[in-house]
């Protein structure tokens, strides 16, 4: 009977995980039943999202329980199969977790084609990180040729792919990474147009501005915190920001508000959009018609707070900010002939 060696969550970490937060366990896992596949793990992917699942807090997946095998994507080789789509020797990707052998139903496995690239890429550029880069840039940010993309953690598995896809889609690729070596690799190997070492940047907002004199159109956010803010403040009109991760915060024990709320946008996949009424000028007539119709139907009411005399406008203006107006604040400057 097959055995597996697995790493389980022994207790919930406080801040950065420590050795005692994990325990290594060996156990029998049985032989494949109908439809099941037994595989030996070759590669295990380590990814930042795993940290969030170790806490007893709401995230985009339920928290792990104490004693659970640590979650994770794996690439393995099939040892024994009772599923028609898989045979011994096949390379498969699955959510095997941190363990040496995996017994799972065939529908949870994806066959990996070793002719495309080394099979380890099924956990990287052709796996979850690559898909994350692709969907976040292409589907969430919808880049247009000629636009400028900024990505934090630019040398990471996601960031490096974001930058390269940006170039392939005829965009300008810029970013920041955590060492000079990483910056060099982004520039030389990945073709980024510009990249800086964020550990040397005391004023990242200015660094991003200097690197992108015409601003950025897309921010692909992996880090959160001051870098996120610096990127936001460089976004051009109608800019887009995909919030993929806020890794600077994953081990924080006292959270600051910005990172906290960006993280929540991921957990709940929330869209936040600033707007100006003037952006919708072409639809104003339709909107006014509907509003007037609702007033005519008695479905829409309003309230006014009218102060007499232009000379009272300055003092009255401040009532908007202490909340002492009740209803639309107006100054009556002169007589209303149609009242």
Q: Which of residues 244-303 bind a copy of itself (CB under 8 A)?
A: 244, 247, 250-251, 256-258, 260-262, 264-277, 279-280, 283-284, 287-288, 290-292, 294-296, 299-303
Residue of the chain from 38, 44, 104, 183 that contacts a copy of itself (CB under 8 A): 44
Q: At 169, give phi and psi (nearest 5°).
A: -90, 15
From 35-43, 143-151, 204-212, give the range in contact with a copy of itself by CB under 8 A: 35-43
Shortest distance, position 337 Cβ to a copy of itself, whole Å:
6
Residue of the chain from 94, 132, 174, 222 that contacts a copy of itself (CB under 8 A): 132
91-94 and 74-81 strand pairing = antiparallel
Question: Rule CB under 8 A: is residue 183 a binding residue for a copy of itself?
Answer: no
Question: Rule CB under 8 A: is residue 24 a binding residue for a copy of itself?
Answer: yes
Nearer to a copy of itself, 21 or 68 (CB): 21
Give the residue among 153, 146, 158 at the shortest CA–CA distance from 236. Answer: 146
- Is-contact 152 199, C-beta < 8 A? no
State which H helix or E strand residue 266 sits in: helix 257-268
Question: Rule CB under 8 A: is residue 328 a binding residue for a copy of itself?
Answer: yes
Own/partner long-range contacts of 194-199 (Cβ < 8 Å, ≥24 apart): 195/154, 198/152, 198/227
Q: Cα 284 from chain centroid? A: 34
Question: Rule CB under 8 A: is residue 151 a binding residue for a copy of itself?
Answer: no
Nearer to a copy of itself, 82 or 120 (CB): 120
What is the per-residue DSSP string for 61-114?
SPPPPTTPBPP--EEEEEEEE-STT--TT-EEEE---SBSEEEEEGGG-EE--T
Question: Rule CB under 8 A: is residue 57 a binding residue for a copy of itself?
Answer: no
From 28-36, 143-151, 204-212, 309-317, give the range in contact with a copy of itself by CB under 8 A: 309-317
Question: Rule CB under 8 A: is residue 331 a binding residue for a copy of itself?
Answer: yes
Nearer to a copy of itself, 106 or 163 (CB): 163
Near a copy of itself in 212-251, by CB under 8 A: 229, 232-233, 235-244, 247, 250-251
For tokens 């002719």, name the residue. Answer: 115
What is the per-residue DSSP string for 143-181?
--TT-EEEESSTTSHHHHHHHHHHHHTT-EEEEEESSHH
Question: Rule CB under 8 A: is residue 108 a binding residue for a copy of itself?
Answer: no
């Amino acid at each position: 009977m097959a055995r597996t060696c697995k790493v389980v969550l022994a207790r919930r970490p406080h801040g950065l995980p420590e050795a005692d937060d994990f325990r290594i366990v060996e156990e029998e896992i049985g032989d494949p039943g109908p439809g099941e596949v037994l595989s030996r793990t070759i590669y295990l992917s380590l990814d930042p999202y795993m940290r969030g699942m170790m806490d007893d807090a709401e995230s985009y997946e339920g928290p792990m329980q104490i004693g659970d095998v640590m979650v994770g994507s794996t690439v393995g080789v099939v040892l024994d199969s009772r599923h028609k789509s898989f045979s011994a020797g096949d390379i498969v990707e699955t959510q095997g977790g941190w363990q040496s052998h995996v017994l799972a139903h065939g529908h949870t496995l994806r066959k990996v084609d070793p002719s495309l690239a080394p099979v380890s890429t099924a956990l990287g550029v052709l796996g979850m990180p690559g898909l994350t880069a692709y969907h976040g840039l292409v589907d969430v940010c919808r880049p247009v040729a000629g636009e400028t993309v900024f990505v934090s953690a630019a040398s990471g598995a996601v960031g490096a792919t974001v930058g390269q896809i940006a170039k392939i889609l005829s965009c300008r690729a810029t970013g920041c990474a955590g060492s000079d070596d990483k910056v060099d690799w982004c520039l030389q190997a990945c073709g980024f147009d510009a990249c800086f070492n964020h550990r040397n940047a005391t004023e990242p907002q200015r660094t991003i501005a200097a690197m992108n004199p015409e601003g950025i159109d897309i921010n692909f956010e992996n880090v959160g915190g001051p870098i996120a803010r610096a990127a936001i403040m460089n976004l051009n009109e109608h800019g887009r920001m995909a919030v993929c991760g806020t890794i600077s915060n994953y081990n924080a024990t006292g959270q600051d508000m910005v990172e906290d709320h960006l993280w929540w946008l991921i957990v709940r996949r929330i869209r936040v959009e600033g707007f100006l009424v003037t952006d919708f000028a072409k639809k104003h007539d339709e909107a006014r018609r509907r509003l007037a119709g609702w007033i005519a139907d008695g479905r829409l009411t309003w309230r006014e707070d009218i102060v007499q005399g232009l000379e009272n406008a300055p003092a009255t203006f401040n009532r908007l900010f202490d909340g002492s107006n009740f209803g639309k604040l107006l100054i009556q400057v002169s007589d209303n002939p149609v009242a």
